[in-house]
């Protein structure tokens, strides 16, 4: 297939863990447990170096609790630029901790979209009004017990294409990174540790059937249709190549395990 000449390049592990200071990125914290095995200093550094810092509703409380639990000096940690949400899971006393530090508090009461989706809309408005450039968003979103929210968060990835064109949105969980590959050609850089340890990766056609061709995987696809009820590529892994290439005729969720990197 030569139908999609432009290749979109992705190197989330390198960008997220080592090269983040070179990028214009935002961090968004959702209301999911912050159980990351990452070095505490790394999380604070990632947060402090972000161009925009957002906590979403109850994510504000989780962040504050994580900071307190890790005995960080609160003053070393920058305040969120935005706290957004319908505020149904954010106690007033937690909000009070942030009210005098220049944080914008934006109430998003609409009950037809999730607080995460609305937060991306507010982030976009903030970037436009403050003339801030962001090309990547790291969403700290562990996958926990609420299956409806896991699915809603994937739906937000689909919506993000219209909200923030040309911005990469990565959902970072405690042991995986997930994002949406749009229709077209992609190359994904795979760190040697993930290749050597045969970490899992997956191509998940959540939004609808996709015809996919890949290289760099143990179980490659050759113009093969992925579709729920037919074939979904989970528990796949790498064949040792430094790069995985994927060509898809429709948006496709890619997810990769990162446990062995931590
Ligand atoms: C068809 C339909 N189903 C369900 C809903 C309800 N709904 C969808 S998004 C949303 C807001 C969810 O808020 P969020 O803070 O993201 O999640 P929470 O933890 O409060 O459930 C609600 C109530 C709806 N508006 N329309
Ligand atoms: O179990 C959960 C709960 C929440 N989320 C995400 O966080 C935001 C904010 O949630 P609130 O409960 O309103 O504080 C929500 O929009 C979800 O994206 C989640 O992923 N899992």
d(CA 67, CA 226): 42
**Whole-prediction pTM value?**
0.96
Single out the residue of 53, 171, 64 nearest to residue 123, CA to CA. Answer: 53
Q: Residue 113 CA: which ligand 1 atom is closest?
A: 9
Summarize pLDDT for 137-174 with one digit per residue, the tens. Answer: 999 999 989 999 999 999 999 999 999 998 999 999 99
Q: What is the pLDDT of residue 59?
A: 97
For ligand 1, atom 20, name the residue with the nearest CA: 88
ipTM at complex level: 0.98
> How far out from the chain centre does Cα 192 lie?
22
Name all domains of the chain by residue range, CATH numbers in brackets: 22-174 (3.40.50.10240), 175-262 (3.40.50.10240)
For ligand 1, atom 22, name the residue with the nearest CA: 111
For ligand 1, atom 4, name the residue with the nearest CA: 112
Which residues does 207 contact at the CB level (< 8 Å), separation at least 6?
158, 250, 251, 252, 253
Mean pLDDT of the chain: 94
- Ligand 2 touching residue 85 (CB < 6 A): yes
Whether residue 37 contacts residue 262, with contact meaning beta carbons closer than 8 Å, is answered with yes
Reported as a pLDDT band with limits 50, 70 and 90, residue 4 is: low
> Ligand 1 — pocket residues by CB below 6 A?
57, 86, 88, 111-116
For ligand 2, atom 10, name the residue with the nearest CA: 31
């Amino acid at each position: 297939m030569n139908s999609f000449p432009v290749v979109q390049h992705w190197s989330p592990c390198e960008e997220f863990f080592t090269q983040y200071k070179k990028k214009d990125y935002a961090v968004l914290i959702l209301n999911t447990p912050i159980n990351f095995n990452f070095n505490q200093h790394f999380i604070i550094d990632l947060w402090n170096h972000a161009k925009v810092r957002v906590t979403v509703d109850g994510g504000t409380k989780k962040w504050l609790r994580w900071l307190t639990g890790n005995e960080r000096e609160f003053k070393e940690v920058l305040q969120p630029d935005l706290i957004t949400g319908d505020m149904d899971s954010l106690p007033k006393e937690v909000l009070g901790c942030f009210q005098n530090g220049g944080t914008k508090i934006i109430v998003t009461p609409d009950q037809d979209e999730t607080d995460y989706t609305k937060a991306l809309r507010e982030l976009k408005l903030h970037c436009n009004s403050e003339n801030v450039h962001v090309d990547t968003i790291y969403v700290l979103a562990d996958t926990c017990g609420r299956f409806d929210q896991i699915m809603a968060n994937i739906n937000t990835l689909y919506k993000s294409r219209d909200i923030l064109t040309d911005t990469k949105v990565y959902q970072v969980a405690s042991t995986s990174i997930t994002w949406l590959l749009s229709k077209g050609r992609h190359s994904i850089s795979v760190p040697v540790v993930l290749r050597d340890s045969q970490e899992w990766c997956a191509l998940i056609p959540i939004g609808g059937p996709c015809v996919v061709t890949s290289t760099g995987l143990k179980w490659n696809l050759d113009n093969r249709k992925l579709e729920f009820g037919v074939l979904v590529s989970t528990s796949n892994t790498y064949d040792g190549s430094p790069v995985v290439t994927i060509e898809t005729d429709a948006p496709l969720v890619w997810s990769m395990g990162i446990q062995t990197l931590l």
